[in-house]
Amino acid sequence: MILVTGASGHVGGELVAALADQGRPVRALVRDPASFEAPHGVQTAGGDLNDPESLADALAGVDGVFLLGGFADMSGVLARARAAGVGHVVLLSSRSVVGGNPDNAVAGMHLASEAAVRESGIGWTLLRPSGFMSNTFEWVPQLREGDVVTAPFAGVPIAAIDPRDIAAVAAAVLTRREHHGRSHAMTGPAALLPADRAEILGRVLGRPVSLRAQPDDEARAEMSRTIPAKYVDAFFRFFVDGEFDDSSVLSTVQEITGRPARGFEDWAVAHRARFE
Ligand SMILES: NC(=O)c1ccc[n+]([C@@H]2O[C@H](COP(=O)([O-])OP(=O)(O)OC[C@H]3O[C@@H](n4cnc5c(N)ncnc54)[C@H](OP(=O)(O)O)[C@@H]3O)[C@@H](O)[C@H]2O)c1
């Protein structure tokens, strides 16, 4: 049995679907099982990753766990998993840890989660994806108002990855022992500027979507309304101070899944309905 955390999210949702398609026993962890619609044949378990004791039922009989990072007591979560007999944890980390500075709140959070996994005594694999294509959903409210989207860090190219590809890698890794003790950085197939994404999305939607580059001061003020200051600082250090270059393209998805990483246009076509 594989327990998928973040099962209602972009990556976990794709992973639950991929494992179910492969006929593998899978259990979806969500905080509110009543509001989660599991695919046919998938078990649902309630539990909160900020409360390791709440995970006992979810972990019963589980061999492998797909784990999100960054929760309050990652060591506590992993101790429960080990006690339950889990043999393999696949952690969703971030490419920002590669050469990352632990003083940066985002890189530091992922580095701390990776350390907890490495020290857990459970077999582990670390997935270190680039920025997600699904971050483009942030534009949905603006696209309801018109054809111009305002985005921060407009001069920063990112080799964004489709969450479906992260899930495909996770599904492959969860079944093969050769991945134990390995870290996999992975990206999409091309580095795109926000304006490139806007142009492609517009083409898919049949609308002339264009990008307004958000000035840094305005971006900082807007982000600070919803994100704690240390994380706003972390993103500015990444993308304004140049602490994180997320633009190089890696062939990991092809190597592990046997098929190329999906491009942004394919992602946009698959999710067109969310933008319409
Ligand atoms: N976005 C990026 O560009 C990027 C890049 C690299 C790494 N990452 C990492 O990717 C992860 C996000 O992945 P995603 O986009 O697939 O997720 P997402 O769509 O943002 O959804 C978040 C998921 O986390 C679950 N969750 C939140 N708090 C929880 C808690 N206390 N206990 C249990 N589950 C909890 C939610 O489940 P419920 O609400 O249903 O309980 C939901 O399924 C994060 O760990 C992030 O650091 C993101």
Tabulate helix, strand, coil % of the chain (nearest 5): 45, 15, 40
Can you tell me which residue has the tokens 């580059």? 213
Can you tell me which residue has the tokens 């993308």? 239
- Provide the 10 A C-beta neighbour count for residue 95: 26
Whole-model pTM: value is: 0.98
Of 66, 68, 73, 140, the residue with max ligand 1 atoms within 8 A of its CB, to mutate for a pocket test, comes to 68
Are 200 and 275 within 8 A, CB to CB?
A: no
Tens-place pLDDT, residues 126-160 = 999 999 999 999 999 999 999 999 999 999 999 99
Q: Which of 63, 81, 214, 217 is nearest to 139 (CA)?
A: 214
From the CB of 129, is ligand 1 less than 6 Å away?
yes
**Position in ligand 1 atom list of the atom nearest CA 96:** 6
Tens-place pLDDT, residues 213-238 = 999 999 999 999 999 999 999 999 99
* CA 99/CA 108 separation, integer angstroms: 11
Catalogue all structural domains in the chain, each as residue range(s) with its CATH number. Answer: 2-129+162-188+249-262 (3.40.50.720)
Ligand 1 atom 25: residue of nearest CA: 6
- Burial class of residue 145 in the structure, from the number of CB atoms within 10 Å of its CB (0-12 exposed, 13-18 middle, 19+ buried): exposed
Give the distance (Å) from ligand 1 centre to CA of residue 8: 8
Report whether pLDDT(169) > 90. Answer: yes
Give the distance (Å) from ligand 1 centre to CA of residue 206: 31
What mean pLDDT comes out for the span 187-205?
A: 98
